Structure 1
């Protein structure tokens, strides 16, 4: 069975699709790293806020789990391969992994920083997305930024 390569003609030049996919790959890496960090903290949180944080972190990592699928599928829709290994994610992410098990307060602080990092990464992709007229990627980025900004605010509120 021969493999045929079909040209992609969605109104976005190949070079632009490649640049957008590179940016979305960084977003995917940040989102997956934040997912992993949030899941880790869900498992390991202790202290008087245990119940509240355990449930909150579960909601956050569940949402991130769905988000990584959407981001990866957008990359594939642009005709590019999506990164999918720890090795690739560790090269692409801007989010640091924790050493050991931080206190509940430190967990919240690290997750605020992680949520904000995802927003910055999403925002950094906008110029190439807008220049290319890629409304679908712009819509995805806008939704991700709104969600992560709101989640960062909610987490920050626990620290005040």
Structure 2
């Protein structure tokens, strides 16, 4: 369906008022709710990414090499989620996180600023955080289904699988210690 000159003029005026507005066939409520939910996930992913890198940098002990490499691999997976998440929010017409402070205000993943964390505790904490991330992704997936946002739901399905894989690897890596008590 072709837009009339009047519609095009209206669209241009709207764009000048809100230069970051992005057109979407989803309802305003859907873009608002899904965008907010995806931003919360994005904040959690950034927080979990940094925690994973923190543990990667501060790993010590007999399984240093294995855990160091595992955490680095998992951090890369988490970081790879950030751009598609933020871009999905923008495609929906929303705005996304702008700073570390913005992330901190929205994250639900708890930071770990301890000077030293035992390797088994690192594994357990990251395992639990990834498990919760998968749970939250499922909740957002349900919201997307409710609003018929198939594109967001499709992205989330892959991230659920990745989160479950990270959880599994962390669980199996920690079987010989505290991490297996779940």
TM-score, normalization by structure 1:
0.92
- Structure having the higher Rg: 2
Q: Does 1:24 align with 2:75?
A: no
Q: Which has the higher contact order (CA 8 A, sep 6+)?
A: 1
* Runs of 5+ consecutive residues of structure 2 not aligned to the other structure: 1-12, 176-182
Is the aligned partner of 1:80 residue 2:94?
yes
1:97-152 Cα offsets, whole Å, 9 max, x none, are: 11312111111011001111211221111232112111110011111111001110
Cα offsets for 1:14-33 (capped at 9, x unmatched): 11101000100111011000
Aligned to 1:133: 148
SS for the counterpart of 1:152 is helix
- Which residue of the partner structure matches residue 10 of structure 2? none
Question: Greater shift after overlay, 145-154 or 122-131?
Answer: 122-131
For the 8 Å contact 1:94–1:117, the answer to whether it is kept is no
Aligned residues: 159
RMSD across aligned positions (CA): 1.7
Contact 1:31-1:64 within 8 A present in 2 as well: yes
Scaled by the length of structure 2, what TM-score is found? 0.82
User: Which residue is equivalent to 1:104?
Assistant: 119
SS in 1 for 2:95: coil
CA distance in 1, matches of 2:66, 2:25: 47
Q: Structure 1: state its 5+ residue gaps.
A: none
Q: Supply the distance in 1 between the matched residues of 2:76 and 2:98 (Cα, whole angstroms).
A: 18
